[in-house]
Every structure is written in structure tokens, then in C-alpha cells.
Structure 1
Amino acid sequence: MAARSKARKRALELLYEADQRGINVGVLLEERVAAPTTQHPLPEYAVQLVRGVLARWSQIDEVLTTYSQGWSLERMAAVDRAALRLGTWEIVWNDEVPDTVAISEAVQLVQALSTDDSPRFVNGLLARVVEVKATLVRAPYPTGDTVGPRQEALRRGERR
């Protein structure tokens, strides 16, 4: 398994663990960085992924909620939700990763760790994220406001 693939898996495991335990993923991340629970510390890219998702959490969730047809975030399998958050962050906010790679990696994760229907669902939703990527607000908000892309588009008078 390639280094970035391993890092994605570790990031997914961290997001999933925090979700299942009902704890703050940022706190869990900092605990794991300070005191790793395995003999191998978290890969730097795993830390970057989780911090990226944390920084864009509300925007990512808004994108997923807006474009997942018939599925609320709460209804999605926790592994799928974590993979979708990671994939969305890589597609929209990480220009170093090609969109096709982000989708492929997320699909591989859910193929190995989730339900039989998950790969198709994750692939379809992330493909939709790629389609609308250009319409999403990617710049940081100078005021620290975490307005989602849909509200920002509405604020500018655009319709979706």
C-alpha cells in the first residue's frame, strides 16, 4: 500500500473512531499526535487530511448534504461519511491530489471497510462534487466565518 493510501486509511480510522466514541476529532487527533497508540506515529499526510477536514467541516458537510440524493449525513454509514469528508476535502481544497485519485482512494477505502453498496454511492457522490467544484467557495473566510458554499452562493445571488 502506498504511503498516501496508508495515510488516508489512518485519517479515516481517526474520523471514524471519533464519530463512534462521540468525541471531538480535533482533540483525538492532538492526543494521537502527542502520544501515538501504535509503534508508528500518524503519517504527516494523515494529520494534514484530518486538519483539512476539521478546518472545512461545515462546508464539507453542506456539500455532502446538498448533493447526496435521498441520504442525510446521519443516515450514511459512518465509514462512508468519513471517506466522503476526506474525499471532498481532497477534491475541493487540496490541489496536489488529482480528483480521480481522491475518488479512487475513497472508493477503495469503503470497498475494504464498508458495505457492498458503499463504493458505488461514494463514487457517485464524489463525482458530483467534482462536477460542482468550480462553483464552490474555496477561499478562506477572513472573519473566521464558516458559511457554507450554498449560503455563500445565495448571498451572491446565485441559484442552485
Structure 2
Amino acid sequence: MSARSKARTRALEVLFEAEQRSVSAFDAIRARREKTDQTINPYTMDLVEGVVAMQEQIDEFLSTYSQGWTLDRMPSVDRIILRLGTWELLYNDEVPDKVAISEAVELAKALSTDESPAFINGLLGRLQELKPSLLA
């Protein structure tokens, strides 16, 4: 597993923990640092900071283009994977679009339901198609 793949997994864990505990992602990171000797990869921080900073707009895009699923109805893991994938797809020029989508699908394969990879692939693929107009 590449360093960036590990960073994505760790970012997902942090964002999931924060959501489940109703704390900020930064509080979740701080708690991890205080309770363990865990080092937080710089790209994990980039992901968490990016998702937190753009979450309102990301959630708006996900809500608008998700067919048949509101954000509240999505499994938490899927919602967080979609937020991470959307941030990489739309706001991180260092990651090629296909890589952002592929990595999100791989996270879903490893951590979510059997239906989740196809759903995540379809929704992120739609956002990729719309990317020029979404960022205009």
C-alpha cells in the first residue's frame, strides 16, 4: 500500500471518529497524538484540513448529484469516502482525477458494503464530468 493510500485510510479514520464522537476532526487528531505515539502523515493532514475547509460545498455537490440517497441516508463510511474523494477530485491538483476516484473505490471495497464501490464510482464519475462547471 502506498504512503498516500495509507494517508487516505488514516484521514478516513480521523473523520469517521470525529463524526461518531461529535467532535472536530482536529480534536480527534489531537486526542490521537496525546494517547498514542502515532505520527500523522502530512498528506493525512492535507486531506483532513481540505475536507473540513470545503465540507459545506462538498456536501452540497454530493447532495445535488447523488441519485436516490441523501447524505443522512448514506452509511457514514461512504459519506466520508465521498468527501475525501470529492476533495481530491475537485480541489487537489496533485492527484489525477482517475486516481482520486480509484482510491475512493478501493477504500469502499475494503471498508464498506458490496454496493458501495459502484455507488461511489458513479457519483464521483458524475462529479468528474461536471468538474469544469462546478469549479467555474
Q: TM-score scaled to structure 1, two decimals?
A: 0.80
- Counterpart in the other structure of 1:26: 26
- Amino acid across the alignment from 1:16: F
1:25 Cα deviation after fit: 1.8
C-alpha separation between the residues in 2 aligned to 1:51 and 1:32?
A: 16
1:36 Cα deviation after fit: 5.2
**Which consecutive unaligned segments of at least 5 residues does structure 2 have?**
none
- Counterpart in the other structure of 2:60: 62
> Structure 1 residue 107 and structure 2 residue 116: aligned?
no
Q: Mean alpha-carbon deviation: is it higher for 20-29 or for 9-18? A: 20-29
Q: Which has the larger Rg?
A: 1
Percent sequence identity over matched residues? 57
1:73 Cα deviation after fit: 0.4
What stretches of structure 1 move > 6 A for 4+ residues in a row?
Answer: none
Indicate the RMSD between aligned Cα atoms, in angstroms: 1.5
Secondary structure, counterpart of 1:56 in structure 2:
helix
**Structure 1 segment 77-156 matched on structure 2, within 5 A:** 77-137=75-135
- Counterpart in the other structure of 2:10: 10
Q: Is the 8 A contact 1:79 1:114 kept in 2?
A: yes
C-alpha separation between the residues in 1 aligned to 2:125 and 2:25?
A: 26
C-alpha separation between the residues in 2 aligned to 1:36 and 1:122?
A: 34
Structure with more helix by fraction:
2
1:40 Cα deviation after fit: 3.2
C-alpha separation between the residues in 2 aligned to 1:79 and 1:42?
A: 20
Describe the shift of the 1:36–1:135 C-alpha distance in structure 2 as closer, same or farther (beyond 3 A). Answer: farther
**Which consecutive unaligned segments of at least 5 residues does structure 1 have?**
139-160
Residues paired across the two proteins, number: 136
Secondary structure, counterpart of 1:108 in structure 2:
helix
C-alpha separation between the residues in 2 aligned to 1:10 and 1:40?
A: 11
